[in-house]
Amino acid sequence: MSDPSRRMLQLLSLLQSGRSWGGHDLAERLGVSARTLRRDMDRLKELGYPVETARGPEGYYRLTAGKAMPPLLLEDDEAVAIAIGLRLASAGTIAGIAESSANASRKLEQVLPARLQRRVRALHASTEAAPSRWPQVDAHVLQTIASACHKHQRLRLTYRTREREPAIRRVEPYRQVLSKGRWYLLGWDLDRHDWRTFRVDRVMDLEDTGMTFAPRELPSKDASTFLHEELKTLVPRHHAVVTFDAPLAEVASRLGGKDGTLEELDPNRCRYSADVDSFEWLAITVAISGFDYAIEQPAGFIAYSRELAARIAMGARRGARARS
């Protein structure tokens, strides 16, 4: 690797993995000679990085844990906040970053003082993050959109509409917004000559055209406010009503945070109402609540639930036959 700056960054990344590196292995990974590697290590020491060196046949290079490492200087609460964020990222709405989050967490832990290492390890050992109930989006898609927003470059994408039909859209991207567990792209639709929001989990194909554009003025104070107002205008496709044979307080504890409203019918029954675009998540949500229930409306939800129940039953029967 001929570029010294890139080589130094890669060297730091390798050292921050937490392992001890033999000189030969490290030089081979970097594509440099042992002499160049020694000079790079000396340079890191001059910059204040805590590099520990052991010479000889069993020699190694590694970063010393528990010391402040410039230029990354964090307050105690900042370091813990990063650790929490990495833990949440591993179970969030972005697919394919769990391993990267774990690797970043290990690198962070290597350079924390001992008192913070104990706090972070206690946090990791005592907490779990439940997977998000919202559809995951691909990290590469988010990065491509982010780059296009930053460079003011037009995107061409295939978008799955609410009717599940694919549509080609040409967009001047403005911002990505995370709202209530879902990622949205806000941009100017070149074919409809208006601002539009797109759910990122419905983007199937994405192409950065490389064509630049002059950013337009957003008709709102910020992207989050625009998205909030836009979502309020969308009319859900279905209004579903379910009656639970259980007290309202118990049902509320199971459905906490789920979209919809609860109404008490009597001390042992309550009614749940929700406006939804599709029946998939609602069918699973009410089924795994653990309570007996009856679907009041619409007929489409009843039909979908019957089909889902049949598929689940068929899967169970096939699994039982395969094991016998």
User: Cβ(32)–Cβ(1) under 8 Å?
Assistant: yes
Q: Which residue has the tokens 């419905």?
A: 202
Cα 86 from Cα 99, distance rounded (Å): 10
- 3 state DSSP class of 293: strand
Structure-model confidence comparison of residues 3 and 307, the more confident one: 307
Structure-model confidence comparison of residues 33 and 75, the more confident one: 33
Cα 145 from Cα 252, distance rounded (Å): 37
Cα 46 from Cα 16, distance rounded (Å): 17
Backbone phi and psi for residue 62, each to the nearest 5 degrees, phi listed first:
-165, 160
67: Cβ contacts below 8 Å, ≥ 6 apart: 50, 111, 113
User: Cβ(179)–Cβ(161) under 8 Å?
Assistant: no
Looking at residue 96, its pLDDT comes to: 67
Give the closest residue to 200 by CA, choosing from 157, 255, 256, 167: 157
Across the chain, what does the average pLDDT equal?
83
- Does residue 174 register a pLDDT over 90? yes
User: Cβ(109)–Cβ(63) under 8 Å?
Assistant: no
Looking at residue 176, its pLDDT comes to: 92
Looking at residue 319, its pLDDT comes to: 79
- Does residue 268 register a pLDDT over 90? yes
Backbone phi and psi for residue 230, each to the nearest 5 degrees, phi listed first:
-65, -45
What pLDDT digit, counting tens, does each position of 203-219 carry? 988 998 989 999 999 98
> Residue 102 carries which side chain, given as an amino acid letter?
A
What residue ranges define each of the domains in the chain, with the CATH number in brackets? 4-63 (1.10.10.10), 76-126 (no CATH), 137-233 (2.30.30), 238-319 (3.30.70)
- Does residue 302 register a pLDDT over 60? yes
Looking at residue 134, its pLDDT comes to: 61
Tell me the percentage of the chain whose pLDDT exceeds 90.
Answer: 30
Looking at residue 135, its pLDDT comes to: 66
- Does residue 129 register a pLDDT over 80? no
CA 253 to chain centre: 26
Residue 156's DSSP bridge partners are 170, 207
- The stretch 182-192 carries a mean pLDDT of 92
Cα 294 from Cα 274, distance rounded (Å): 14
- Does residue 43 register a pLDDT over 80? yes
51 band by pLDDT with thresholds 50, 70 and 90: confident
